[in-house]
Amino acid sequence: MKNYFLCLAFLFSTLLGYSQYKVDTMCGAKVNLDKNGKLLARYQSSQPGAAYSKAAKLAVDFWKKCPNSPTNKLPLYITHCSMYRDGKGGFVGSTWPHNPICVNAGMVQSFAIDWYNFTGDTAMISITKLALDHQIKMGTTPADWVWANMPYASSEAGEALYDGASRFDTAVTDENRGRGDGSYSLEVDKIGEMGMGYLRFYQITNDKKYLKAALDCADGLAKHVRVGTNSGTNINWQTLAITSPWPFRVKAKTGEVEEDYTAHVVENLRLLHELVRIKNTIQLSDSRTNAYSKTAKIVMDWLYSAEGPVKTAIWKGYFEDIRWDPINLNRVNNSPMEFARYLMKYPALDSNISTTIPSLIWWVKNTFGEHGMNAINEQTGCYQPMGSHTARYASICAMWFERTGEKWFKEEAMRFFNHATYMAEPDGVIQVGHSWGGEIWFSDGYTDYIRHFMEGIAAVPEWAPVGENHLLKSSSVIQKIQYSKQQIDFTTFDISSNAVLRLKKKPVVVKVNGKIIKETKNNAIEGFIWQPLPVGGVLKLHHNTGNKVSVFL
């Protein structure tokens, strides 16, 4: 089976023509190729992987100084989906409807988790808090509606209030007929995405306001899941042959279904599973635990059923500003890739993971790969290569290499990450794609861009900056981390977790709650493993007797 997939890899790479590049420049930079005609990164091209944290830093630094809206004094990313250069050295928000959940929930992973863990930059926590607090206060449905206490995925451009986007409500004859969510409409797949953002931020801050918001999201998902004609998990799936466990778009007040099908259920799954996992810590009631578990099983059964997208490849849904698609013609890349990411983090969910993941990777490459480039197109409804989606695909390849050791996936990840680095301009403007134009999206350029680079670096630690100390990943949310010359201290939400760090040198000692843990060769017991690199090395540690870790250098 391994040789079969590697042969396919070689064949399709040849057919898709990725050995030469079809453009000479991207986003103002000359395309760098090595002696074999393969793509090098935009920055620090002589050091594989060095450009990835560079691109992320450019994006983060820009975000910190993002201009405010002149009308409400809020950062443009709170009230706009995108911006343009104004020709005077500044920026102005676009008039396109905003996608707040994509931005706000993405900030949690990209900024409050990934970049904060990597650098200890506390500004990321306060920046993310501003966005989440705004979503709760200004973007939640009333408590007496059918879909109560749910987060809105769309809003009017420039408006502080999030309640759907009315721009296309009356578009009856023009090209935008049936496009976008409409007023007071929800995207059900985004409920779990925002809910997971709230839950992760609760795990960082211990502020129960965010836990309540997460529970509201999960309650709505459990209440409205569709289970067919039979009760419980014994489902007659014939009744759902052209639907999904939740609809894509609904009217929040009445529950009227506007668009029926979405395959993007992975974020809802993540929320439900995580709440059940930490049920004792948060004192989750039995009724909620049972409801969430039952709902998650319904969804997993559907995903792998004869009508589910793992079998049918009807990966459709997610994007908020694409025409309504009642006959399910559109296909998207992010849903199968994010599902693959989830399975790799929780492999027990799929006993056939060695087949499922390569199948998803190849489906995305064959469906969305841009001929003559190491780039991935967003969806069939907007078939353009984009930096964030290219980086997403790269991160999945990197994770699969980490799991299997198959070097083709590492090479694939590197070339596609290299392409994505060209979207990062020296001033921190992140372009959507090399041919997109002047519109700079906050989701595609920042909150759905940074996190993929960080995931890739975590999977291949040699890509982390040489001669520096960084926490690359942790199986538990990091509540606090501090870097100094002699030590790194961090606190995890869970008592038991695993972490990976790239360090300048082997640590002198590692302590958990003040107790020294020993070097070991078995990461299943409490202790650490040191893997040397040409400069410094990689520290892999497992702890289960406390949540305060100190690494002394």
CA distance 380 to 364: 11
Note whether 232 and 299 are within 8 A (CB): no
pLDDT at 42: 98
Name the nearest CA neighbour of 453 among 504, 404, 396, 503: 396
CA distance 468 to 471: 10
Total domain count for the chain?
Answer: 1
- Three-class secondary structure of residue 435 per DSSP: coil
The amino acid sitting at 486 is Q
Q: pLDDT digit string (tens) for 495-523?
A: 999 999 999 999 999 999 999 999 998 87
Taking the CA atoms of 317, 323, 327 and 330 in sequence, report the sign of the dihedral they define. Answer: negative
Place of tokens 């014994």: 234
Residue 539 placed within a domain:
yes
Taking the CA atoms of 147, 152, 156 and 161 in sequence, report the sign of the dihedral they define. Answer: positive
Note whether 104 and 96 are within 8 A (CB): no
- Three-class secondary structure of residue 510 per DSSP: strand
Residue 349 placed within a domain:
no
Q: How far from chain centre, in Å, is Cα 178? A: 27
Residue 318 placed within a domain:
no
CA distance 317 to 315: 7
Residue 476 placed within a domain:
yes
**Per-residue pLDDT at 192 exceeds 70:** yes
Residue 283 placed within a domain:
no
What average pLDDT does the structure give for the chain?
Answer: 92
Q: pLDDT digit string (tens) for 139-165?
A: 999 999 999 999 999 999 999 999 998
Where in the sequence is the domain holding 512, given as residue range(s)? 471-552
How open is the CA angle 432-438-439, to the nearest 5 degrees? 60
Residue 250 placed within a domain:
no
Mean pLDDT lowest among 53-62, 318-327, 457-466: 318-327
Residue 151 placed within a domain:
no
Q: pLDDT digit string (tens) for 31-87?
A: 999 999 999 999 999 999 999 999 999 999 999 999 999 999 999 999 999 999 999
Q: How far from chain centre, in Å, is Cα 338? A: 7
Rounded to 10 degrees, the C-alpha dihedral 369/370/374/375 comes to: -80
Name the nearest CA neighbour of 373 among 440, 408, 422: 422
pLDDT at 235: 45
Q: Which positions ≥6 away from 64 have C-beta within 8 Å?
A: 123, 127
pLDDT at 171: 57
**Per-residue pLDDT at 380 exceeds 70:** yes
Q: How far from chain centre, in Å, is Cα 110? A: 8
Rounded to 10 degrees, the C-alpha dihedral 103/423/315/197 comes to: -20
- pLDDT confidence tier of residue 398, bands split at 50, 70 and 90: very high
Q: pLDDT digit string (tens) for 207-265?
A: 999 999 999 999 999 999 998 533 334 444 444 446 899 999 999 999 999 889 999 99
Q: Which positions ≥6 away from 48 have C-beta within 8 Å?
A: 41, 414, 462, 463
Residue 493 placed within a domain:
yes
% pLDDT > 90, the chain: 85
- Three-class secondary structure of residue 14 per DSSP: helix
**Per-residue pLDDT at 3 exceeds 60:** no
